[in-house]
Structures are given as structure tokens and as C-alpha cells.
Structure 1
Amino acid sequence: MILIAGPCVIENKDILFEVAESLSPLASHQDIEFYFKSSFDKANRTSLESYRGPGLEKGLELLAEVKKHFGYKILTDVHECYQVKPAAEIADVLQIPAFLCRQTDLIVEVAKSGVIVNIKKGQFMNPADMEYSTLKALKTKKPSLQVPVFEDSKHLGVWLTERGSSFGYGNLVVDMRSLLIMREFAPVIFDATHSVQMPGAAKGKSGGNSNFVAPLSRAAVAIGVDGFFMETHPRPSEALSDGANMITPQDLQELVETLLKVQRSLH
């Protein structure tokens, strides 16, 4: 099972290392392929006043320290093409944010960097149409490809992540069919914490309900996915970004053990 976990945004070194330390049991688990995630910049915050992160240079420096100290593989997101080259020197996976999942130049630049590409499905996207975003990355890596299939995506390092779909205003729902649809042409990660987000529900920032993280995750593992994306914070109510939908490291560890049991029972 792929597990992508960490705080939503880099707040400071102390919290970053506190979370990294707390995830050590999961990172060393024999049944988990672990990636530590945090953002150096949250470029699509609802409000101009919201905390965005330490920025590219300082953020990558801190992620490099985590990588060196803990030996973790790193995932972070990029929003613009100029960020790709320096980020790829540190990260093992570069993530295309959901709002940018059709941004051709960004997808191509990340694919050219040689790292794994994780494209988050836009909240506005038909899951079947993510085939074309996948193909943008695959054809950059291997121009002869015409149709994306799961094995090519897995071999060449292109993942897709489900994070819910817009349902009216200020709400997301997860259509579990999308996991099966996208898994026809790429490994699929279920983003359990962003899927319970409520965009714009907290007066200038996103709200959410983390109580739904566990049941949605259990449903996803039963349907069949390749991994999970779960943002975590030791004190979610104090987090500077996405606190309402993050879970504590302890809750994360208990949930992952449950998901592994379900996964084993299905095989």
C-alpha cells in the first residue's frame, strides 16, 4: 500500500519534524510504501490573508532536512513550471494540484523531470477524462504511447489521486466509481482528508469534517485502490491550513492498520 502522509503545509521546522517523527512506525512498516508530504506553498488559498507556507527555497530546504534525517521519500506539490526543477532535486514525487490537473505545460514539465507524477483529479472533472491528463505525462516520458493503460502508468511513474467532486456550493462528494474508472489507466490514490473538505465553508477558508475520513477510506480500500493520501497534524485545530479535515498521527496509524487488514482480507 502506498501511503502519502504529512502536514498540509510546512508551518515551521519544529512541527514538521514532530509530524515526521510520529510517522516513523508507518514509514518502516513492511506492507507500506511511504512518502512524506508537505507543501512549501499553498498557492490556491481562498483568502489573501491565509497562510501559504515558507516559500520554495526555505520549504525545499526543510523537506531536504526531513529526507536526510529520517530517510523518507518526499512528495510535494508544484504550481508553476519554474518550481519543477528545484523541487525535483529533493522530491521523489511531484504533485499536480487538482485545480491544475489540465495544465499541459506544468504536467509536461513535471514528467520531463524524471520523478513520479501524481495528478490530482480536479473537483470539476469527469474521472474518465483524466485519461487525457495521464496521457500528457506518459507521452512526455514515452512518446510512442497512444492509449494509457495501468501497467504503463505504473512502470513510467504516473499516478492519479481522487479528492472528491464538487456537489453544489461548499461541499464535496466521493463517487466511488471514479476509483475503478481511473484505475483502468493509472494507479489510483485516494485522498481521504481532502475528500471531506468543505470549500469556503469557514469564512475565507475551507472547512471540513474529519469524522468521515475513516469510513470513506474503508470504502475505498474495499473497492480497490493503490494507496492513500492523508494529511496529519498533532493538533489539527491549531493547524494553519486544512485543520478541519486533517487527523492526528495516532488516529492515522490506527486507521492504516484497519485498512491493511481489509486489504489483506480481500486478497
Structure 2
Amino acid sequence: MANSIRRYEGRHAVITGGASGIGFRTAERIVSEGGTVTLWDVDAAKIEEAKAALGASSHGVSLDVSDPDQVEKATQETVSAFGKIDVLVCSAGIAGPNAKVADYPIDQWKQVFEINLHGLFYCNRFVVPVMQKNGYGRIVNVASIAGKEGNPNASAYSASKAAVIGLTKSLGKELAGDGITVNVITPATVDTPILQQLKPEFIDYMLSKIPMQRFGKVDELAALITWIASEECSFTTGAVFDISGGRATY
């Protein structure tokens, strides 16, 4: 993929959930702009497919982000291979079931938090010291408009994404003097494989909430992420970037 913009020349990015959806499209853009990427994903087969599509500028690590030991090992492996991590994009996540709070399965509540919040925290936690050592970094965490507004019958997802927003704001302030920015995006529903986890009536509800009357496109999110994760976005940290087709009200 040819691209005359070379914002990522000499930069290395780690992308969780990088083998498909938003993560993969972001990886494509970063590679097209001169960067190298490491895809952290739970699906080893998809990692190989993604690497084949991305070419020699890509590397892959199969891991479960909800396991801190695996995240720490992946961080060490990535630094050993590339010497640094300039960019971290955390896009790995699950939707969880659609159920009322009174009926929500406790084990699945915990699983949503283990991946969406705790896994994201582990990735931020272990990558930050690498960035601090180099005096540069860009972290982009992927939350959701559900984290701001709360979607009915999606309490675990909504609550976990709200927590991601709070974590991002806190970490952004902590690192403001270290040359590292930490920002979060809050998309409305995007046409990605995660929709396959949801009931049709819930998908219809989410579409009805978007004034543009369409779902977001992966390319649109990747374009925003790759700007936030670039050197150009240098005076914004701890910020929430809405990309919601007009749904966001604050």
C-alpha cells in the first residue's frame, strides 16, 4: 500500500486486537506511512494472515491480554525484536452478552472486565516504562460511546469502557511531562466482527441512536487513531475523542 505521508518513519507500534477489525486497519495505515508494527492478538491463525498481508514490516505475538504474565512477556519480546515501542493502540475487546443487570451472568461480567479493562491496564502498565526510557510515546485506548452514555442490557461493556476513559484521563496526567500522550476514542457502533456477538434487536437499537443513521467505518476510526498516535498530536493528552455520527452529547 503506497502512501506519500511518512508520519511513522522509524516508529514501532504495538496494536492489541491487531489481527482484525480496527486494529488491523490501523496497522495497515501505520505500515503504509513507514512504520513497523507488532500485532498482539489471541488468534494465532489470524496473526499469520495479517502478517502475510502486511509484509516484512509486521511482527506478531499470540497472547491473552487478560493474563499479566503474558503481557509482560510480549512486551519484552517486542522490545527485544525492535528495541522500543513508540506507539500502543489498545483495541482488543469483547462485547459480552446482552442481559439485564439482574440477569447478567457473573462469570461473563468478570470476563468482560478482564479483557476490556484489566487487559488494557496491563498493556498500558508494561509498555509505559519502555516509552519513558525512550522519552517518547503515544497511547491510544479504544473505549466506546457506551462508556459515556451507557447502553441498556450491556452493563458490563458500558461500565468497562467507562473505566477505560477514567484510566486514560488519569494516566495522561501522570505522563504529561514525559513526552508521552495518552488519549481515548469513544466510537459509536462500528461495522466490525464484534457485531456478530450481539443480538439483532440490540444492533437495531444502537443504529437508532446515531443521527447519521449509519454505523461507523473501520477506515474512519483508523484515520483518527493514526493521527492521535502520530507526532502531530503533541499537545493533547488525557482527552476523549468522539467518533459517533452525532450520537455523543458531551
Q: Same fold (TM over 0.5)?
A: no
Normalised by the length of structure 1, the TM-score is: 0.36
